Amino acid sequence: MSKQFDVIVIGGGPGGYIAAIRAAQLGFNVACVDEWKNDKGGPAPGGTCTNVGCIPSKALLQSSEHFDHASHHFAEHGIGLSNLSIDVSKMIGRKNQVVKQNNDGILYLLKKNKVSFFHGRASFAQAVEGGYEITVSGSANESLSAKHIIVATGSTARQLPGAAFDEDRILSNDGALRMAAVPKTLGVIGSGVIGLEMGSVWRRLGAEVTILEALPNFLGAADEGVAKEALKAFIKQGLKFEFGVKITEVQTGNDAVTVAFTNARGEAVTLDVERLIVSIGRVANTVGLNAAAVGLQVDERGAIVVDADCKTNLQNVWAVGDVVRGPMLAHKAEEEGVAVAERIAGQHGHVNFNTVPWVIYTSPEIAWVGQTEQQLKAEGRDYKAGQFPFMANGRARALGDTTGFVKFLADAKTDEILGVHIVGPQASELIAEAVVAMEFKASAEDIARICHAHPSLSEATKEAALAVDKRTLNF
Ligand code: NAI
């Protein structure tokens, strides 16, 4: 006899657990099934984001940034240090603690909201009268059924053909977050978000990092001006880049990995590194879901096919987050999770894909929302641009972090903000103002006329908005 629910959420990552909580808030009897295990075999909900993504990478970025500051910047403040060292196992231990706090926090939140949590793998068993039957296998072995199913099974790291992850020499995001020692040399394939964040962590701790990128240019999704400024800063820090490469072979030896590639000039090159991170994107995860049992439509890339409202081809089966189209971002998954729960309740859940912010947590941080200058040019849109450098911002000078700028793009006639691009200190936090502004269809002048605290980095945002009308006050 299967346990009956109104809604079963498959997957407990940011898309799934948030959908479960929102559905429970709306009065539904909800189950959430997640199979992720901690090192003791217990439940570790939170998905890639909590366990091997957003959260642990930010913990290591913080630790490595402290080390970098102590190594290179404390002296400017008159702080002397001798015998500076890094205890990698302690750093990884702290990161694991941060992950555990988040895992436990999610279990607490599910309980608080009366969501029934099942630790195991959920798969479709069959369609039944008025809904679907789901089999859970793992720590929990159950049969569950519900009218509504929300699939939030996330994504996994894409493997490079001929270079399977062994998480020892060839690392995915998972292995990159738990190296036992700082490698002398580190290769990274793919100069995307993971490559840059993980490359930065290990570079700050002393690794010589070489990033190999297939495309001829850097961070194609970012505004070109921002990408250029960021690349300059990363090269200055010591990250090495090769663009336009074609990887021909990856060979793993006892204590090294050899990557053979053709460089942009067509020359054959080999790179020997102690460890290699492969960060060339992620693929939707439907492994073990048994989608075929109920005829759930999956596309050729393995993603579940959904419409704009996250509806699949099956009545009352929904899918959200990395397992469907759109950017693989935790906050996009959360928004979809909330919207689906509200749609199930007959409300009008909405996700505005035009105002989903992007953040790369390097130093300088990179963040943007809306369209890039190259996109506006390609569209033939008439726009105005305004830019303000952190070099001219008092708070940035006091922080000793003056790299980068804030850039506004606004419609030439209406002045509506079309995109905001930030490279510099605290870009991840500063972008929130731009998201709010765009969501409310603000003009650049609206931001320019708002009082911003002094001294703060946010004044650079105001000044960039003023720059759209060529009237900066401090530059
Ligand atoms: P990505 O899509 O950001 O970057 C992959 C890079 O690898 C691209 O530049 C691509 O041109 C390159 N590439 C692909 N195949 C290649 C090959 N054979 N040889 C050399 N280069 C190749 O993917 P990444 O960094 O793996 O991240 C995966 C996902 O995780 C992304 O969707 C990202 O949005 C998300 N993520 C988000 C974070 C954040 O929001 N801060 C942090 C980390 C990941």
The answer to whether residues 370 and 434 belong to one domain is: yes
Q: How far, CA to CA in Å, does 58 sit from each of 117, 332, 436? A: 27, 18, 24
Please tell me the distance between residue 40's alpha carbon and the centre of ligand 1 in angstroms.
30
Last residue of a domain, one of 253, 280, 307: 280
Total of domains in the chain: 3
Q: Is residue 226 part of a domain?
A: yes
Following DSSP, what letter does each residue of 34-87 receive, concatenated?
E--B-TTS-B--SHHHHHHSHHHHHHHHHHHHHHHHHHHTGGGGT----S----
pLDDT in tens, the chain (475 residues): 799 999 999 999 999 999 999 999 999 999 999 999 999 999 999 999 999 999 999 999 999 999 999 999 999 999 999 999 999 999 999 999 999 999 999 999 999 999 999 999 999 999 999 999 999 999 889 999 999 999 999 999 999 999 999 999 999 999 999 999 999 999 999 999 999 999 999 999 999 999 999 999 999 999 999 999 999 999 999 999 999 999 999 999 989 999 999 999 999 999 999 999 999 999 999 999 999 999 999 999 999 999 999 999 999 999 999 999 999 999 999 999 999 999 999 999 999 999 999 999 999 999 999 999 999 999 999 999 999 999 999 999 999 999 999 999 999 999 999 999 999 999 999 999 999 999 999 999 999 999 999 999 999 999 999 999 999 999 9
Burial tier of 392 (Cβ tally within 10 Å: 0-12, 13-18, 19+): middle
Domain boundary among 351, 370, 404: 351
Residue 473, domain member (yes or no) = no
Mark whether 124 and 11 lie in a shared domain: yes
* Nearest atom (ligand 1) to Cα of 282: 28
Tell me which residue range forms the domain holding 229. 170-280
The residues pairing with 317 across neighbouring beta strands, listed in sequence order, are 149
Looking at the structure, tell me whether residues 56 and 143 fall in a common domain.
Answer: yes
**Rounded to an integer, what is the distance from CA 56 to the centroid of its chain?**
12
Does 128 lie in the same domain as 14?
A: yes
Is 164 inside any structural domain?
Answer: no
Furthest C-alpha separation in the chain = 73
CATH number for 69: 3.50.50.60
Chain-centroid distance, C-alpha 385: 27
- Under DSSP, the state recorded for 466 is H
Reply yes or no on whether 454 is catalytic: yes
Question: Ligand 1 pocket: which of 156, 170, 193 to mutate (most atoms <8 Å of CB)?
Answer: 193
CA distance to 158, 410, 434, per residue, from 355 (Å): 27, 15, 9
Rounded Cα gap, residues 456 and 474, in angstroms:
13
Examine residue 217 and state whether it is found in any structural domain, yes or no: yes
Q: Give residue ranges with CB within 6 A of ligand 1.
A: 160, 189-195, 197, 212-215, 245, 247, 279-282, 327-329, 359-361
* Most informative mutation of 171, 194, 219 for ligand 1 (most atoms within 8 A of CB): 194
